[in-house]
Amino acid sequence: MLADSRKENNNQSKLKPRDWCLPLLLPDCFSCSPDGSILARDSSVVGNVDMGTPSVLWNVAKKCFTVGVISLTVSDLFASIVPVRGASMSPTFNPKTNSLLDSLSDDRVLVEKLCLRKYKFSHGDVIVFCSPDNHKEKHIKRIVGLPGDWVGTIYDVVHIPEGHCWVEGDNSASSLDSRSFGPVPLGLVKGRVTHILWPPHRVSSIERKTSRNRVSPS
């Protein structure tokens, strides 16, 4: 009995204070054995492991950090997924229907950013851009006119200067666009919308719609 008691004390003495927290922090992974050692759920003894080396939690934290950095890099350089708010681009995005699914979920769209390298856009592209009036606000609209074009509006014909584009919402009655703030500098464009990714029943690519009857090239 004395020998067993000494053995138990030796096992417990090998455990560092933070080792005793494992069953509390990760109850699904670790538990306490009758002799006081820490057991993993696969019954392997952890009491003899030097917890001074990177622990399971540290490894998980490093992996999560690495994945986060990679995700942010990919998002910043190549593409991102953004929600569409409001009805200014209806029926292309957030169509007004009686469907319960449509009323509960805004569209999520894929925005590719490779187009920004040389600012190559076409008439009918749907883009994400910062508002010329408030750069913290982002809008999603469709390109109607490109640099050098003449765009007809209700009140006038507007010439689009170099380095700018004319954008409008598909739902013109509910859209704040170039008719209000004028041509948008291409430097404010953050990417081109290529696909609807959510909700699942609306997954599709984005169709280019043009207004050739309102646009005259230079």
Q: What is the pLDDT of residue 88?
A: 94
Whole-prediction pTM = 0.64
- Answer CATH for 78-216 from 1.10.10.10, 2.60.120.510, 2.10.109.10, 3.40.640.10: 2.10.109.10
Tens of pLDDT, residue by residue over 99-111, are 555 556 789 999 9
Residues near 129 by Cβ (< 8 Å), separated by ≥ 6?
138, 139, 141, 167, 184, 188, 189, 190
Write down the pLDDT at residue 35: 53
For 45, the 3-state DSSP assignment is strand
Q: For residue 88, indicate whether it is catalytic.
A: yes
Burial of 79 (0-12, 13-18, 19+ CB in 10 A): middle
> What torsion, rounded to 10 degrees, do the Cα atoms 54, 33, 7, 50 define?
0
Q: Is 141 a catalytic residue?
A: yes
Choice among 80, 88, 90, 178 that is catalytic: 88
Catalytic residue, from 80, 90, 141, 175: name it. Answer: 141
Closest CA to 214 of 125, 147, 144, 141: 144
Domain boundaries, the chain: 2-74, 78-216
| pLDDT of amino acid 189 | 95
